[in-house]
Amino acid sequence: MKFLDQAKIYIRSGNGGAGSISFHRAKFQEFGGPDGGNGGRGGDVWVEAVDGLNTLIDYRYQQHFKAETGVHGMGRNRDGKKGQDVVLKVPAGTQVYEEDNETLICDLTETGDRHLIARGGNGGFGNAHFKTSTNQAPRRANPGQDGIEKTLWLRLKLIADAGLLGLPNAGKSTFLATVTRAKPKIADYPFTTLHPNLGVASIDGREFVIADIPGLIEGAHEGSGIGDRFLGHIERTNVLLHLVSARNEDVAEAYRTVRHEVEAYGHGLAGKPEVVALSQADLLTEEERWEKLAELKTACGRSPLLLSSATGEGVDVTLRALAGRIDALRQAETADAVDEAGRWRPIE
């Protein structure tokens, strides 16, 4: 299935049904009075996060969605039926934006989240509604109200526990394929990964989701390479794994290049906890390892891990480091939900 993380759609809620003008007619009842029913309300347009989806590809082939018009009112005081709703089913993590692609309408972060994005028009009143003591036979009824028409943007941001960062060919896809059952494309040329990939890793009985995104290059925030568009997919992660390839002549500069692009992107990504690892370490001699580890430690301000997905060296250590950060953040969130007296309170 092809990955699509952004789609433009056009929606319209249903028009309300018109009210009816009708008068009761029966044998031996010459003047039965008005009995026109009200029109039904137009159908609504909803968006709902459902399980089993991880792409917006369905909205490439259908962009127009219109809810059903309410049924018109009828005689004998019969009200029209409400129009059928339209429900847009999207993956968890989908955001809905106005036509300007900047004004956020809703953010569906969990499966089952549901939001009304266009309410159907009200049905019109039939002539029975207008009957009064001074107007026994009204000959008027209201038309139904028009529905709401909008152009919207759907934008998907994957929900994962850990995100992978690095320059192209830093070994991110290889690491993901090694620790999960994901099957990303792996090749010895830049920008092998063209769209995000997800995988579930496990270590010591704990499982967590890892997201791999296309590599960043210098100037990505200005559109160079694939740009920084896919950084949105790791905005929701708890921790970042920054892989710096041992192939780089200057590992410190490689680290700083990616960090600069992350900081230029913003959205709180630069402040996330980060685990740094020197990847593809099997390509180095023992002396070269220590030299590059020392250079990378100076650049990032912490001791980097040594990793080789090809040989398995350092893989478990890296997974434990990620799992430890994720567990610590989850415990902190749980602690924030309990006050000093030990009573639960909602997170603000």
Question: pTM above the 0.75 mark?
Answer: yes
Q: Token pair for residue 333?
A: 């969130």
- What is the CATH code of the structural domain delimited by 162-336? 3.40.50.300
Domain ranges of the chain: 1-156, 162-336
CA gap 221, 231 in Å, rounded: 10
SS (H, E, C) 283-330: HCCHHHHHHHHHHHHHHHCCCCEECECCCCECHHHHHHHHHHHHHHHH
d(CA 90, CA 54): 8
Q: What is the mean pLDDT of each successive set of 10 residues along the chain, which is 348 residues long?
A: 85 97 87 92 96 89 96 95 96 94 93 96 95 92 96 92 91 91 76 81 91 84 74 89 92 93 89 92 89 92 91 93 89 63 52
CATH number of this structure's domain 1-156: 2.70.210.12
**In terms of Cα–Cα distance, which of 239, 249, 217 is closest to 323?**
239
